[in-house]
Amino acid sequence: MTNNEWPLWEVFIRSKQGLSHKHVGSLRAADEKMAIENARDVYTRRSEGISIWVVASANVFASNPDEADSLYEPANSKVYRHPTFYDVPDGIEHM
Amino acid sequence: MKEFNIDELNRKFQEKIDNDIKIEPKDWMPDDYRQTLIRQISQHAHSEVVGMLPEGNWITRAPNLRRKAVLLAKVQDEAGHGLYLYSAVETLGADREQTIDDLHSGKAKYSSIFNYPTLTWADMGAVGWLVDGAAIMNQVPLCRCSYGPYARAMVRVCKEESFHQRQGFEIMMKLAAGTPEQKAMAQDALNRFWWPALMMFGPNDAESKHTQQSMDWKIKRHTNDELRQQMVDITVPQAEMIGLTIPDPDLKWNEETGHYEYGEIDWDEFWQVVKGNGPCNKDRIDARRKAKEDGLWVRQAANAHAEKRRARNAKKAS
Ligand SMILES: [Fe+2]
Ligand SMILES: [Fe+2]
């Protein structure tokens, strides 16, 4: 990064009370304060949010899509974790 | 980690595309796909940003406060569109500063429509109605583009665009129903913007080099001529409704096909403007360059201020 450029931030918005913050995009800003102000201008011009989080993109660590198979395969073989795995006889209610 | 050879990677990639599975930034993708997207998305971003200039030209001279507030909000939206798109380019590993410098050096293009001047207030009507109208037609299918960040940016953009077109149409409608001078002004704006708006969809399909590959990659969903036809079919009745005349003597309804037939587009003019010889190409790029140069000290000062605050907070914490 040259001194002319601002760092990149990821923006998360809570659209209303009771919902979690959701990633909406990114922007550049000199610091976290400016990032929040810019996020307000860019991502909440039509009342899309009531709360903003910004995280420096450099601080986001992501899983590797090439390892998706080995990361998530164990879940696929454990179908018994889902309620549909079990037979419930006709006539049994509230289960 | 599994090792794949290039054919295998390519096959898996195309399989995802064919099954409408979005490609995300960290996924493997062919270099041509990446380069095509960088070119297209950065051009799109530049168009949003350069597109603020012809309309910004009228903000201080809007006829009343309501029109001024609306135009200001519209132009601000376009700045936002530019930002969503530059962010999407960055996810492909492109350097944002570099893409902007490519615009300023003339290496990167932007939509030719913004090289036409906005001479009267009625042009704000014609631009919103026709230019944003054409942009919507291009952008709606891009919401289903195979590249996730581009598609998501387009969803946001499309939500915001429809007010742009409506406010433009409203201006035209009001002027067309006004005094003879006002109506003439609206007609003149339509006369000047009609053909450049049709050119916004790009060359005829037979001349368009990138279309087939972009369709196979599901970056593009319709050809240039399909979208152009759709634009004509939708816009002609709107013009009729407000009593304006489309400036095309060859325009006629074809009962059999259910489409309008329209006259030959002046492709020489199109290529001249693309090559930099339009009425405002130089003004637009000069204005962008000046904005970047004049803003340099602000960007540097903000960085210096942020650095100072960081140092101060670190001291307090220790
Ligand atoms: Fe836009
Ligand atoms: Fe727009």
pLDDT in tens, B281-317: 999 999 999 999 999 999 999 999 999 999 999 998 8
Q: Does B27 touch chain A (CB under 8 A)?
A: yes
Among B84, B92, B83, smallest CA distance to B32 is for B92
What pLDDT is recorded for position B209?
80
pLDDT in tens, B165-178: 999 999 999 999 99
Instruction: State whether residue B226 sits within 8 Å of chain A by CB.
Output: no
Distance in Å, CA B51 to ligand 2 centroid: 9
For residue A4, give the chain B residue with the closest CA: B300
What's the confidence (pLDDT) of residue B15?
95
- What is the rounded CA–CA span in Å between residue B229 and residue B198? 9
Share of chain B above pLDDT 90, in %: 94
Cα dihedral across residues A19, A24, A29, A34: positive or negative: negative
Using a CB-CB cut-off of 8 Å, the residues of chain B touching A34 are 302, 306
Q: Where are the domains positioned within chain A? A: 8-81
Distance CA B108, CA B113 (A): 15
* B95 to chain A: closest CA residue: A1
- Please name the helix (run of DSSP H) or strand (run of DSSP E) that holds residue B11, with its range, or none: helix B6-18
Q: What is the pLDDT of residue B4?
A: 67
Whether residue B305 lies within 8 A of chain A, CB to CB, comes out as yes
pLDDT bucket at A1, cuts 50 / 70 / 90: very low
- Which pLDDT band holds residue B132 (cuts at 50, 70, 90)? very high
Beta bridge partners of residue A10, listed in sequence order: A26, A55
**Residue A91: left (phi > 0), alpha (psi -120 to 50), or beta?**
left
Is the pLDDT confidence value at B123 over 60? yes
Query: Is B12 an 8 Å CB contact of chain A?
Result: no
Closest CA to B28 of B8, B46, B51, B45: B8
DSSP-based three-state secondary structure for B201: coil
A31-77 residue pLDDT tens: 999 999 999 999 999 989 999 999 999 999 998 888 887 888 777 78
* A 60-79: CB under 8 A from B: 62, 64-67, 69
| Three-class secondary structure assignment of B143-195 | CCCCEHHHHHHHHHHHHHHHHHHHHHHHHHHHHHCCCHHHHHHHHHHHHHHHH
Q: Across the interface, do A34 and B306 touch by the CB < 8 Å criterion?
A: yes
- Whole-number CA gyration radius for chain A: 21
Query: Looking at the domain covering A8-81, what would its CATH class be?
Result: alpha beta
Q: For residue B158, report the distance from its CA to the centre of ligand 2, in Å.
A: 9
Q: Is residue B218 very low, low, confident or very high in pLDDT (cuts 50, 70, 90)?
A: very high
B117 vs B316 pLDDT, higher one? B117
Ramachandran category for residue B258: left, alpha or beta (phi over 0 → left; psi -120 to 50 → alpha)? left
What DSSP state is assigned to residue B222?
A: S
**C-beta of residue A54 within 8 angstroms of C-beta of residue A32:** yes
- Confidence band for B39, pLDDT divided at 50, 70 and 90: very high
End-to-end CA distance of chain B: 42
- Going by their DSSP bridges, the two strands A8-14 and A51-56 should be labelled as antiparallel
- φ, ψ of residue B98 to 5 degrees: the values are -65, -40
Mean pLDDT across chain A, nearest whole number?
91
* Cα separation, B152 vs B72, whole angstroms: 25
Burial annotation B198-233 (CB, 10 A radius, 16+ → b, else e):
bbbbbbeeeebeebeebeebbbbbbbbbebbbebbe
pTM of the model: 0.92
The residue-averaged pLDDT of B74-86 equals 96
Q: Which pLDDT value is given to residue A74?
A: 74
Q: How far from the centroid of its chain's Cα atoms is residue B92's Cα?
A: 19
Q: Which residues of B touch A6 (CB under 8 A)?
A: 299, 302-303
CA atoms within 13 A on the CB side of A41: 17
In this prediction, residue B176 carries a pLDDT of 98
List of residues 6+ apart from B303 with CB closer than 8 A: A3, A4, A6, A30
Q: Is the ipTM of this complex over 0.90?
A: no
Q: What are phi and psi of A24, to 5 degrees?
A: -120, -15
**Within chain A, where are the H helices?**
32-43, 68-76
Closest CA of chain A from B258, distance in Å: 39
* Closest approach of B213 to chain A, Cα-based (Å): 25
Cβ of residue B259 closer than 8 Å to a chain A Cβ: no
Judged by a CB distance cut-off of 8 A, whether residue A47 touches chain B is: no
Other C-beta atoms closer than 10 Å to the C-beta of B7 total 8
